[in-house]
Amino acid sequence: MSANTIIHRIVHPGVVALAPTGVTPNQITTFRLITGVAAAIAFAGPAPWLHIGGAIFVFSMLLDRMDGDLARFTGQTSPGGHRYDLISDCTSNIIAFIGIGIGQMPELGLYGPLLGIIAGAAVGSLFWQLHILRIGELRPWVIGPGLHVDPDDLMIFVPILVWCGAAFPMLIAAAVITPVVAILLGVIGKRRPA
């Protein structure tokens, strides 16, 4: 993954301000996990909680970029911190989909949580394949000089689609497309050297 995405540029001034305070990257990661859980709980609720969950999820995504940026900026990178960051990110994304599925129960009944679990499990599988098994490679898209977007940044569409009233079709698409991508990556992906 790139450390120079648009979201990194957004959070970097906050990182510079935070660096002298003694706040650690792992504390930011913990706060990211807490806000990820809060977003999932809000997603599971009725309006306006679904929309509030979207705002919390965006904040949680910013924290996701901030922890690594703070670690690099202050020289506090470590393999353990990186693993904790990956676990926090993966958990937050998985439970977001489960929360959205629960929130769709009035329209979908028990199919809502089922779709959320399928989408969440597939997201977890992709994380496992890309970050643990090291199958395939995440490369940023260069959209302009110095402007990069990581595939992980596409999670920003989750709250946007929720705010646009498209949580139901997004959930169905995530429950169908994400498992297919995970299966294809498992079949045709190549393991990267460690």
Give me the percent of the chain exceeding a pLDDT of 70.
Answer: 95
Assign 146 to helix, strand or coil: coil
Average predicted confidence (pLDDT) for the chain: 90
What would the pLDDT profile of 4-63 be if each residue is shown by its tens digit?
788 888 999 999 999 999 999 999 999 999 999 999 999 999 989 999 999 999 999 999
Contact 123, 94 (CB under 8 A): yes
Inform me whether the pLDDT recorded for 70 exceeds 70: yes
Domain 6-188, CATH class in plain words: mainly alpha
Q: According to the model, what pLDDT value does residue 154 have?
A: 85
Assign 141 to helix, strand or coil: strand
Q: According to the model, what pLDDT value does residue 118 have?
A: 96
Helices (H), the chain: 6-18, 25-43, 49-74, 79-103, 105-108, 111-127, 157-163, 167-188
Mean pLDDT along residues 149-171: 90
Q: Which residue did the predictor score with more confidence, 25 or 188?
A: 25
Inform me whether the pLDDT recorded for 169 exceeds 70: yes
Q: Which residue did the predictor score with more confidence, 115 or 6?
A: 115
Residue 95 identity (one-letter amino acid): I
Domain ranges of the chain: 6-188
